[in-house]
Amino acid sequence: MVKKIARKKIVRKSGLSPVVTTVLLITLTIAITVILFLWFRGMVKEGITKFGRNIELSCENVNFETGYSSGTLSVVNNGDVPIFNVNVEFGEGGNYQRKEITEFSGGVSWPSTGLPQGGTFSGNIGGEIGSVSEITVSPILIGTSSKGKRTFICGGQYGQEVAV
């Protein structure tokens, strides 16, 4: 009688090789680092300065008057900070739009160097905004940053509501 010897199959459970595992861990670490870097970079504002200090502090020194009549917007700079441009926010019934108006009707342009101390400007914006019930004019300042000249809108409490 011949005895049959049963052979057992040896099953090896193999995982990833150490080289593949190391590459995957390094790739994952780099991906997480890049994501965190981009997230933090988006949270940090770029520093813009004017007169050697943060441009937001220069907004406090802006002193200007605005008026609106028959589609014509007038701006007078009474302060010692030049106003590079103005941002006009207008709306009716809760719908608001914001525009930086550089070209006015009739070929009139905002001064390219801005509105200096004591400077006045008047331009027709009636075609730009249509019929609205509210207009808010905010000054735009220009300052310097690590990337060159940058503009900054002095919004919020520095804007002036204009009677329409």
Confidence check: pLDDT of 128 > 80: no
Q: Specify the pLDDT at position 1.
A: 57
Residues 6+ apart with CB under 8 A from 8: none
- Contact assessment for residue 101 and residue 86, using Cβ atoms and an 8 Å cutoff: yes
Same domain, 78 and 22: no
Flag whether 137 is in a domain.
yes
> Rounded mean pLDDT of the chain?
81
Question: Which residue has better confidence, 126 or 26?
Answer: 26
Confidence of residue 60 (pLDDT cuts 50, 70, 90): confident
Q: What is the mean pLDDT of residues 16-33?
A: 92
Give the H or E element holding residue 27: helix 18-43
Same domain, 31 and 112: no
- Model confidence pLDDT, tens digit, residues 70-91: 778 888 999 888 999 888 887 7
- For residue 145 the two structure tokens come to 């940053």
Task: Give the residue numbers spanning the domain of 131.
Answer: 49-162
Flag whether 10 is in a domain.
no
Same domain, 75 and 109: yes
Rg (C-alpha) for the chain, rounded Å, is 31
- DSSP sequence for 51-106: TTEEHHHHGGG--EEEEEETTEEEEEE-SSS-B-EEEEEEEETTEEEEEE--B-BT
Q: What is the mean pLDDT of residues 129-150?
A: 82
Same domain, 24 and 90: no
Confidence check: pLDDT of 11 > 80: no
Flag whether 9 is in a domain.
no
Q: Specify the pLDDT at position 35.
A: 94
- Model confidence pLDDT, tens digit, residues 113-123: 888 888 888 88
Confidence of residue 36 (pLDDT cuts 50, 70, 90): very high
Flag whether 5 is in a domain.
no
Other C-beta atoms closer than 10 Å to the C-beta of 96 total 12
Number of domains comprising the chain: 2
pTM over 0.85: no
Flag whether 77 is in a domain.
yes
Residue (of 101, 98, 71, 100) closest to 164 by Cα position: 71
CA distance 5 to 162: 101
